[in-house]
Amino acid sequence: MKHYRSAAWLAATAFCISSFPAFAQSEAGGVIEEIIVTGTGVERTGFDTPQSVSQFTEEDLRSFNSSSQADILTQLPGISAEGGGGEVATNVFHRALPSGGQFSFTPLLYDGMPAFTTFGLNSSAFDVYIRNDLGVERSEFVSGGVSNLFGPGSVAGIINYISSTGGPEPAGTVQIETADEGRLRGDYFFSGPLGSADSDTFYALSGYFRNDEGPLKSGLDTQGFQLRGNIRHEFDDGSGSLTLHTQLIDDSVQFFLPLPVDGRTRERVMGNDGAEVFTMNTVEAVGLSYDTPGGRFQTSIGDGVLTHGHMLAAVLDRDLNDEWTLNAKLRYARYDHQFNLFVDGDGLAPDGSRPETQSEYLTRRGIDPALHGHARFVYAQTGRNLAPNHLVFGNRTFDRSRNATDMSLEFSVGHEFYVGEQTHGLTIGGFFSNSQADDIRHITTYLGDFRNAPLLVNVQLTGVVEDDSGQLVMADDPNATYHWTHNGLAKTNGLTDHHDRSARRIAFYVADQIEAGDWSWDLGVRIERLEGDVKRFNTSSFVMSDDPSVNDLIETVSYTNGSLTSDSLGATEWAFSAGALYRLNDEVNLFANISRGFFFPQIRSVPFSRGRLASYEGEIINSLEAGVKYEDQAISAQALFFRSTLDDRRNVDLINDPNNPGNIIEDVSLQSTEAYGIEAGFSWYLNDFVTLDGNITLREHEFTKADGNPAIVGNELRRQPTEMANFGARFARDNFDGLLMYNYHGSNFANDSNSVSLGSYGLWRLEAGYSFPLEDDDSIRLSLHVFNLTDTQGITEGSPRQGNAQSGQAAQFFVGRPILPRRVALRLSYDF
């Protein structure tokens, strides 16, 4: 694929960072290092940047990507990323900062602009709004340093994907992919000049369409499309460019939560039908519905994680004169978004969520054992009785409507000047955003049997009625039938939450990059104000009829009663960063940086008390990193030490409601943490055919304060291994190429109480291809990609809904989420 980038375009991408620098082969057979742009727009290589940075090329991204952002981000030092849930809502953990996952501390940017500016209006991750495609030229990640002061800001790191842009010659790629479990995907990228060959205006267009019955078959497909594009106009005088970006997305992705696995081996188990159980998602739940005062509610679970909407953006980059530059980014997005999922159990059983015998199901829900003989378990679709030894599994669908709008503007000026022998690159700028998001939740509880993609089950008690006190007793009429579940539908259904949250952010920053002989210095400060509004639409209970033709056990349904509780909040915080790099010689650089940063608490974490919102203050992070970088014509390496402390973090978990079984609530806890460790990595251009890459992370972390739960002080943070490593070997000779990758994820704990230990695992991936050269530098490539080559079943998390209540003691079942199983994909691409 042919790509063209102007110097002005490079300056516009304010977060272009390189790590162990990306190498490419020169015509003379050696290697060259790509020049990149750091936070304030001063061009440097990763070797000359006083902070930890990482970069992946277009070739890397094509090789890594199997399902989600986790396939890419897990290759980075210091980051653990999990994609067991599918294509979206990647759980990203960086340097042991406490998080439920997602992108809490690491904003996700495309072309220097946020996918969404404010985290925590609801719990949707940033990657639900946009997908990677062939139009991404490279990705960059920066950890620490002044770059974290720009744009939406960060406290830990910034992930930025840089889009390809057009040039004077038409170029592009068309790719088709097929994989086992019913996956078919088509990708495209087209670029070139608009108008004549000597035009100053260029276009790039990319996107995909795919339908996927997997990776775990439930009868519910992942399907949809995305279209992205940009038009770049270069000014006639060579002073810069104006680029327009757009995105259109209509995509539905199935999301997979933990499920019951073997309590001893933590591997998948066999279901009632004798087949291995991969998911509790089921197409049979699509029709579940019930009456509410506002009409009949039907679950949208069939849509999965649905995103339908668009984004428009403009980037202006201009040299005002020899000393001053101007950069501006304006972005607007609107998305109709739902995040619907199958929860890990119904939350009604006292000891969590696991498969049960039919007798256990009745007993654990308070049905008198004397009535058990009157109960029948039958399949809702066929009326056929379950075999007496078949297990059942109570579960819930969690429908969440989360329409969102987002606007952001960043404006900065740069000034280059000299003081004696020093060169200064000064940047002064501001960032403004206005975001709004809904959070409307419905829970629908049902009963299924225990198998992959369960079948709905009805429970009927013959000769049984409900008395005036709500107890089940024997009926005078022996033919009377009490419906405990009807069409699979069970107790505890309705609206559980309806919020409208918005946030306005305004920030100003100043940074100076200084070059002074063998020294490079970075200094910067940011001041930001966040103001938010919260509207809570209050709920009441609707008493249903006791008509036995419907589910007798649905006694009440929650709904919005028309009343509203609303309030506003706000906080102001500041951040500072300083970094230095010393060039010891041509091959060794020493670097260090310190920073004081902040994270505004998730607005959803702030509760109402007597009609007013609780206090709202920034969460302060202090961090330090120091290390050494080595680089010669064949090897690039880096090793560093880091330490960070986080004070008064408002952590939010969605857990089973202990006071209202079957409901799900947001549990907020105030935590402080400390972490330190080492990260090291290398890239070795072994010869003309083989390149080796690898990194290792060793770290320690603990809670230093936990209001309301002091017992966890000194414990390790959940889901954060103390050891991680990556290794990759790339081979290319003549027309053949191959890549073998290994990711090691050390043991960790599933919860903050450290009561559930999760074992270590290793994940292998393989990419191999053969290219057929054509005329005019065109080519066709046929490639094979294998995810999870050895089909390992490592557990990435326990039961989020059980949280600290989950037990790690040996039992018949354990609720956890395994790595997605092995998947083989075949790709055919045409580059021109």
Separation CA 404–CA 563 (nearest Å): 22
Sheet holding 259-262, edge to edge: 259-262, 813-818, 795-797
Stretch 284-302: mean pLDDT, rounded?
90
Q: What is the pLDDT of residue 227?
A: 98
Stretch 127-137: mean pLDDT, rounded?
95
In single-letter form, the type of residue at position 457 comes to V
The pLDDT tens digits for 217-233 are 999 999 999 999 999 99
> What is the SS3 assignment for 127?
helix
DSSP assignment letter at 509: E
694-703 burial, b if ≥16 CB within 10 A, otherwise e? bbbbebebeb
In single-letter form, the type of residue at position 337 comes to H
Separation CA 675–CA 635 (nearest Å): 30
- Strands (E) in 402-421, as ranges, are 404-419
**Nearest by Cα to 597 from 53, 15, 116, 149:** 149
587, HSE (Cβ side, Cα atoms, 13 Å):
6
Q: What is the pLDDT of residue 57?
A: 87
Q: What is the pLDDT of residue 542?
A: 64
Q: What is the pLDDT of residue 11?
A: 32
Q: What is the pLDDT of residue 206?
A: 98
Which is more confidently placed, 291 or 820?
A: 820
Which is more confidently placed, 21 or 112?
A: 112
Q: Are 56 and 139 in contact (CB under 8 A)?
A: yes
Pairing label, strands 158-163, 108-110: parallel
Looking at the DSSP bridge assignments, the partners of residue 763 are: 743
Q: What is the pLDDT of residue 22?
A: 41
Stretch 65-70: mean pLDDT, rounded?
80
Take residue 315 and report the two structure tokens written for it: 């980037």
In single-letter form, the type of residue at position 447 comes to L
> What is the SS3 assignment for 527?
strand
Separation CA 301–CA 638 (nearest Å): 46
Asked whether residue 184 carries a pLDDT value surpassing 50, the answer given is yes
Local confidence band at 551 (pLDDT 50, 70, 90 cut-offs): very low
Weakest-pLDDT range from 74-83, 301-310, 348-357, 554-563:
554-563
> What is the SS3 assignment for 403?
coil
Asked whether residue 426 carries a pLDDT value surpassing 60, the answer given is yes
Asked whether residue 238 carries a pLDDT value surpassing 90, the answer given is yes
- Strands (E) in 164-239, as ranges, are 171-179, 183-193, 201-212, 222-234
- Which backbone phi and psi does 615 adopt, to 5 degrees? -60, 155
Q: What is the pLDDT of residue 35?
A: 56
Q: What is the pLDDT of residue 544?
A: 53
Looking at the DSSP bridge assignments, the partners of residue 655 are: 665
> What is the SS3 assignment for 149?
helix
Asked whether residue 469 carries a pLDDT value surpassing 90, the answer given is no
Q: What is the CA radius of gyration of the chain?
A: 28
Take residue 131 and report the two structure tokens written for it: 């997908």
585-614 burial, b if ≥16 CB within 10 A, otherwise e? eeeebebbbbbbbbbbbbbbbbeeeeeebe
Q: What is the pLDDT of residue 556?
A: 58
Take residue 236 and report the two structure tokens written for it: 């006639």
- State the burial class of residue 59 (Cβ atoms within 10 Å of its Cβ: 0-12, 13-18, 19+): middle
Q: What is the pLDDT of residue 26?
A: 41
Separation CA 706–CA 329 (nearest Å): 40
Asked whether residue 773 carries a pLDDT value surpassing 50, the answer given is yes
Asked whether residue 6 carries a pLDDT value surpassing 60, the answer given is no
Query: How many residues are present in the chain?
Result: 832
Asked whether residue 12 carries a pLDDT value surpassing 60, the answer given is no
Place of tokens 């199997």: 66
**Nearest by Cα to 287 from 477, 52, 57, 444:** 444
Weakest-pLDDT range from 71-80, 183-192, 653-662, 715-724:
653-662
Stretch 767-780: mean pLDDT, rounded?
95
Q: Are 327 and 316 in contact (CB under 8 A)?
A: yes
Which is more confidently placed, 349 or 379?
A: 379
> What is the SS3 assignment for 614?
coil
The pLDDT tens digits for 689-729 are 999 999 999 999 999 999 989 999 999 999 999 999 999 99
In single-letter form, the type of residue at position 682 comes to F
Weakest-pLDDT range from 2-11, 666-675, 711-720:
2-11
Q: What is the pLDDT of residue 54?
A: 86
Q: What is the pLDDT of residue 99?
A: 76
Task: Please state the separation of Cα 62 from the chain's center in Å.
Answer: 19
The pLDDT tens digits for 485-514 are 989 998 767 888 899 999 999 999 999 999
Asked whether residue 37 carries a pLDDT value surpassing 70, the answer given is no
Stretch 560-584: mean pLDDT, rounded?
93
Stretch 252-256: mean pLDDT, rounded?
96
Separation CA 588–CA 591 (nearest Å): 10
- Which backbone phi and psi does 197 adopt, to 5 degrees? -65, -25
Separation CA 80–CA 61 (nearest Å): 17
Q: What is the pLDDT of residue 664?
A: 85
Q: What is the pLDDT of residue 539?
A: 81
Separation CA 490–CA 483 (nearest Å): 9
401, HSE (Cβ side, Cα atoms, 13 Å):
12
Task: Please state the separation of Cα 200 from the chain's center in Å.
Answer: 38
Asked whether residue 1 carries a pLDDT value surpassing 50, the answer given is no
DSSP string, 18-72: -SS--EEE-TTSSEEE--EE-TTS-EE-GGG-SSEEEEEEHHHHHHH-SSSTHHH
Place of tokens 């902040």: 598
The pLDDT tens digits for 811-829 are 899 999 999 999 999 999 9
Take residue 88 and report the two structure tokens written for it: 């979206």
Which is more confidently placed, 235 or 347?
A: 235
Take residue 259 and report the two structure tokens written for it: 């499920």
Local confidence band at 13 (pLDDT 50, 70, 90 cut-offs): very low
The pLDDT tens digits for 621-640 are 999 999 999 999 999 999 99
End-to-end alpha carbon distance in the chain: 6
**Nearest by Cα to 548 from 494, 453, 469, 477:** 477
Q: What is the pLDDT of residue 352?
A: 59
Q: Taking the CA atoms of 344, 347, 348 and 350 in sequence, report the sign of the dihedral they define.
A: positive
- Strands (E) in 213-343, as ranges, are 222-234, 240-253, 259-262, 289-292, 295-298, 305-319, 324-339, 341-342
Provide the mean pLDDT of the chain: 89
> What is the SS3 assignment for 595?
strand
Which is more confidently placed, 547 or 321?
A: 321
Q: What is the pLDDT of residue 393?
A: 96
The pLDDT tens digits for 355-391 are 999 999 999 888 999 999 999 999 999 999 999 999 9
Q: What does pTM read for this prediction?
A: 0.91
> What is the SS3 assignment for 502?
strand
